[in-house]
Amino acid sequence: MNPIARRWRAWWLARHPLSDNWTLTQGNIYIVPTRAGFVYALTLMVMLLASINYQLNLGYVLTFLLAGSGLMSMHLTHRTLRGLTLHLRPPQPVFAGEAAPLEIVVHSAGRRSHGIGLCVQEEGVPYDEVPWVWIDVPAAGQATAHLSFVPPARGLHAVPVLRAETRYPFGLFRAWTLWRPASQVLAYPAPERPAAALPPAHAVGGEALQSRASEGGELEGVRAYQRGDTLRRIVWKKVARAGELVSRDTRIATQQELWLDYQGTQLPDPEARLSRLAAWVLAAERAGIAHGLRLPGVELPPDQGEPHQRAALRALALWAPAR
């Protein structure tokens, strides 16, 4: 894209305020004839010439009827989008390089709207290959469309510009709107694959202890199931054998401490280090080992569980080297 076009595009997009709710009105719907529309116009011109040359009054009637219907279809196409409200549900964090699902709820205030295509506006994708998601919105109701976009790197990403388009009813015109949602998608660092082995955990006393869980062997301690134990903690093998619920006794595990340290990754590239750390966080959580995270300038004390994992990954996603 040449610089002028890029600037024009940037200026144009800047006209659209950031919002998670986007009501379509005359002010933010664009409409142009499609290629089919131009071919239609050409067909009508040829038909008009034929009517003139053969002096066919019914030919005039037909040509003008089609011209009138085509013209009215412009209003109908525009009206299909007008009065719709697009709403983006808060997007969930994902790992960089994985598709982030975007759930868009389209609400129609009045009439039923057919054939509305939604897509993530991407540069350099030919028009024919855009992966449209088509929905119909019922009258005074709503419909949900699932889009996705792939954050290329870790960090907070603005949801890319979304596009809602329709060619209904005749395909002679396409009306579309560009929407810049205010929400951001958090992308965790892509976990290293295959994951490197976890660094050795230390007993609280300080003695080094190999994590048993990563070897996949029998665990040291089990106890009877107590209310509140997570499903992950249940030792299913023993349940199958004993016929009653048995939970992993994590006292032993919690007595170990695993520090996932930025310095301990032994990789030159900081992004690669973060990827390894992310993989370790996942592995430690899977193994049920309390783990702490140490990044330059950030330290998360050892803990375990969903919120802790999220906090750790979030820290990894947002960490920026000090300048």
Partner 1 sequence: MKSPAALALLPRWPGWKHLPREARDTLFLLAVIGWTVMPHLSHLPWWCTALATLVMLWRGRIALTNAPLPSRWLVVGVVLAASALTVMTEHTLLGKEAGVTMLVLLMVLKTLELRARRDALVIFFLGFFLVLTNFLYSQTLAVAAAMLVSVWGLLTALVLAHMPVGQPMIRQAGGLAARAALLGAPVMVVLFLLFPRIGPLWGLPQDAGAKTGLSGELRMGSIAELAIDESIAFRLKFDGPVPPAEALYFRGPVLERFDGVEWRQRDLLTLSFALLDAELRVQGDPVGYEMTLEPSRMNLLPLLDATPDAAAAAPRIPGLRTLQHADLHWTTDRPVTDRLRFHVQAWTRFEHGPRRGVMALREDLELPPGYNPRTLAWAAQLRNDPRYANASPEVLAGAVLQYIRQGGFVYTLAPGEYGANAVDEFWLDRRRGFCEHFAAAFVVVMRALDVPARIVTGYQGTDRAPTDGYWIVRQSHAHAWAEYWQPGRGWVRADPTAAVAPDRIERSRHLAPQPGLVAQALGNWSPELLTQLRKSWEAVNNRWNQWVLGYSQKQQLSLLERLGVQSPNWEDLSLMLIGLLSTGALVGACWAWWDRHRQDPWQRLLGGVRQRLRKLGIDAQPHHAPRTLAAAVRQQLGAPGEALAARLEELDRVRYGPAARARPQAGWWRQFAAEAARLRSG
User: Which residues would be at the binding site for partner 1 (CB under 8 A)?
Assistant: 25-26, 36, 39-40, 43, 46-47, 49-73, 75-76, 78-79, 82-83, 109-110, 114-115, 117, 134-136, 140, 167-171
Exposure b/e, 232-254, CB count within 10 A at least 16 = b: ebbbeebeeeeeeebbbbbeebe
- Nearer to partner 1 by Cβ, of 8 and 30: the residue is 30
Backbone angles phi, psi at 10, to 5 degrees: -65, -40
Residue 140 or 318 with smaller CB distance to partner 1: 140
- The structure tokens 């005039």 sit at 60
- C-alpha–C-alpha distance, residues 217 and 103, integer Å: 41
Of 40 and 280, nearer to partner 1 (C-beta) is 40
Choose among 66, 71, 104: nearest CA to 85.
104
Any idea what DSSP says for residue 220?
Answer: S
What order do you get walking across the sheet with 184-188 strand by strand?
A: 94-95, 184-188, 155-158
Contacts of 266 (CB under 8 A, 6+ apart): none
- For partner 1, give the closer residue by CB, 1 or 61: 61
Report the alpha-carbon distance of residue 114 to residue 81 in Å, rounded: 9
CB of 92 to partner 1, least distance (A): 23
Q: Which residues contact 65 (CB under 8 A, 6 or more apart)?
A: none
Long-range contacts of 40-48 (CB under 8 A, 24+ apart): 40/66, 40/70, 40/172, 41/70, 44/70
Distance CA 97, CA 153 (A): 7
Please state the closest distance from residue 170 (CB atom) to partner 1, in A: 5
CB of 63 to partner 1, least distance (A): 8
In the complex, what is the shortest distance from the CB of residue 136 to partner 1, in angstroms, rounded to a whole number?
Answer: 4
- Name which of 140 and 156 has its Cβ closer to partner 1: 140
Nearer to partner 1, 22 or 319 (CB): 22
Q: Supply the minimum distance, in Å, between the C-beta of residue 12 and partner 1.
A: 21
Cα separation, 66 vs 41, whole angstroms: 10
> Based on CB atoms, which residue is closest to partner 1, 135 or 246?
135
Taking the complex as a whole, the smallest distance from the CB of residue 106 to partner 1 amounts, in Å, to 12
Task: Write down the least CB distance from residue 188 to partner 1, Å.
Answer: 32
